[in-house]
Amino acid sequence: MTDRSIVPWSHGPAVPRRCRGPAALRACAALLLIACVAQGRERFGPIVVNPLSANVGETAHGYFEHRVELENTSETAHEVALTLGSSAQGGNVIRRLTRRMAVPASSRLVLSLPQPPLGMLGDSRLSVRVDGRYRGNVSFPYSPYGHIVGSRGSSLSTRLLVSRSLETDVLDREVNRKKRGSSGRDRVRFVKAEYGTGRWSANWLGYGRFDGVAVSAADMAGMPAPVRAALWRYVACGGCLVVEGEVAPPEPWRQMATERVAGGPGARQGFRRVCVGFGECVMSAGTPLNRLSGGERELMRKALARSLQPWSQASDRAAANRNFPVVENLATPIRALFIVIVAFTILIGPANLLVLRRLRRQIWMLWTIPAISLAGTLIIVLYAVFSEGITPTARIETVSLLDQVGHRATTVGLAAYYCPVTPRRGLHYGYDTEVTPQVSRRAYGSGNARVVDWTRDQHLGSGWIRPRVPAHFMLRKTEPCRRRLDLDWDTARAASVLNGLGTEIRRLWLADATGRIWTAAAIAPGEKARLTAREPAVHGTGDLGRLRGLFAAGAWAKLIEQLTAKGAAGKYLFPGTYIAELSDTPLLERGLAGRLRGTRRAVVFGVLDRAGVQ
């Protein structure tokens, strides 16, 4: 999560007092820039803290990345703790973001504080502690409020982050030429990057809130390798990269089919799209983005809309539980509670009084009433414990695109939790996982304020799960992965596979080098199984564009059924790929620690190494 590619600020040469003419203007501009840069920069003993600017603007989903540059000027390491937020209470908002990190001696690095897609309480002040001691506050050059659509009632439309090398105003005028005055979701809204691409984030979460990122081919060639890798990871997670010029996507996507513009007014041969994971890259080779034809502009708008579509269908807690239920029956047992209350009332009142009067011990009411009340309370508590227990219930379903060439797994899916009691340790996810809660973002009067700690991992602490209330999340993740499926051919052209995915494969469909589909079932982890060719022969006719369509459709609760339904293998597979239905979710964290009830299902769409397919 640290980005060491940040270039130190240059304070420039001293300016003579008697400069005149253009030189004086340049000197004044340089001094103004230095003053703006140094405005938020503060020294706390040996640690210099510099909050960086961010690409501000409201978006419909994704994390807002707060970045802080830390410099240790001493010869010893120091632990720095940063806290953004306040102790105030509110609705479905982020109350506090925290992170601690040991800063090595004589070093400079960037600390990232990603904010999940909820509003923020507090002002722009960042609390700083050095070696456990409070040293003061420093302010961001922007406000943490209002970065999530819904907190201010803005319309839902696509957002495009634009490199500083491109003319944002001209792009806005050209791309939205026929949409002027429209505030609907078909209008593209542009956000100009605060920094040049050399200073962009190396964390894909920093781009996930945008439906697209627009750069030039020169930007892609000149940016640091970690930033370029982060952009491709963002695309693989469902984003859209718009390039003025042409770039080569990483393997294995480079070798896969591309879709060129066909038809449309003024369509040119150089304008094309390449699917990368669950996302896509749109390239305008030889055509500036501000001179696109009508058909090309429409294609670009549709590509951006596909990245927004899953989030436009995001729902509140009640709708999420209808679409993806975690427990069968959430209804309150009204009849049972009514019977208990009536019995308790009769027992503690008339029955108690009648018995004590016959015994001529009315004075005992001083202890029988409290005793009956305590017994009734214990009965209700024991009923709740024995009817539901204290073990949380989880339902997790994911679809992963496993790139066995580049050794990377990209996962999307849904997770739902139902906890009879509040989990003591909260939820834990990795640094590369985007967690979107399915709650109403306008409910400031209800809901829980939430706490996030990024010190050891992504720890979603207090407020994320309430007892006896379902909690639903949309998840995206990309990470290095060495899990794989090994394919072996013998001399008789019979195939077998070795399950290296870490869990049981319930069903497997695999397309060989010719596209013919082979099947297997019930393969234990670490075991080999022989493949059986489908008869009559069935060949896969799919491409990555269909996976992109599944992602954009937004019906993530039905992804597994769509990929494992009858005939799905022929529809989605193409040579050198496979679909494996798993009995667990090895490519995504469980979230909750300890024992869990419920179901966990996963499907892996794998891309085999070409050498293993032959």
pLDDT of 15 strictly over 60 = no
Phi, psi of 495, deg, nearest 5: -115, 145
Long-range CB contacts for residues 420-423, cutoff 8 Å, separation at least 24: 420/384, 420/385, 420/388, 420/389, 420/390, 420/391, 420/392, 420/467, 420/468, 421/390, 421/467, 422/465, 422/466, 422/467, 423/392, 423/465, 423/592
Q: Do 310 and 60 meet the contact criterion of CB atoms below 8 Å apart?
A: no
Measured at the CA of 561, the angle between CA 536 and CA 559, to 5 degrees, comes to 120
What does the DSSP assignment read for 384-431?
HHHHH-S--EEEEEEEEEEETTTTEEEEEEEEEEE-SS--TT-EEE-T
**DSSP assignment, residue 573?**
-
Cα separation, 509 vs 529, in Å, equals 13
Query: pTM score, two decimals?
Result: 0.85
Cα separation, 259 vs 273, in Å, equals 5
The string over 375-407, giving b where at least 16 C-beta atoms fall within 10 Å of a residue's C-beta and e elsewhere, is ebeeeeeeeeeeeeeeebbbbbbbbbbbbbbbe
Phi, psi of 171, deg, nearest 5: -60, -45
| Nearest in space to 457 (alpha carbons), one of 426, 436, 486, 482 | 426
Beta carbons within 8 Å of 454's beta carbon, 6+ residues apart? 1, 97, 98, 99, 112, 113, 114, 431
Tens digits of per-residue pLDDT, 352-379? 888 888 888 888 888 888 888 888 888 8
Q: Region 6-31: what's the mean pLDDT?
A: 43
537, amino acid identity: A
Structural domains in the chain, sorted by start = 1-149 (2.60.40.10), 155-312 (3.40.50), 334-388 (no CATH), 484-613 (no CATH)
Q: Per-residue confidence at 153, pLDDT binned at 50, 70, 90?
A: very low
Cα separation, 163 vs 238, in Å, equals 20
Burial class (CB in 10 A: 0-12, 13-18, 19+), 431: middle
Helix (H) or strand (E) holding 240: strand 240-244
Residue with tokens 């700083």: 128
The CB-side HSE value for 122 (13 A sphere, CA atoms) comes to 23
Q: CA distances (Å), 473 to each of 116, 394, 412, 470, in order? A: 11, 11, 11, 10
The CB-side HSE value for 34 (13 A sphere, CA atoms) comes to 12
Pairing label, strands 517-523, 532-533: antiparallel
392, amino acid identity: P
Tens digits of per-residue pLDDT, 49-106? 999 988 887 787 899 999 999 999 999 999 999 999 876 666 788 888 999 999 999 9
Tens digits of per-residue pLDDT, 278-329? 999 999 887 788 888 888 888 888 999 999 998 876 667 778 888 899 887 7
**Rg (alpha carbons) of the chain, rounded to whole number:** 29
pLDDT of 2 strictly over 60 = no
Q: Do 425 and 383 meet the contact criterion of CB atoms below 8 Å apart?
A: no
Cα separation, 234 vs 397, in Å, equals 21
pLDDT of residue 614: 60
Cα separation, 459 vs 284, in Å, equals 41
| E-assigned strand segments in 106-239 | 107-115, 119-120, 125-130, 133-139, 159-162, 189-192, 212-216
pLDDT of 8 strictly over 60 = no
Q: Which is it for the CA torsion 306, 311, 315, 321, positive or negative? A: positive
C-beta neighbour count of 172 within 10 angstroms? 19
pLDDT of residue 149: 58
pLDDT of residue 40: 67
Pairing label, strands 78-85, 433-437: unpaired
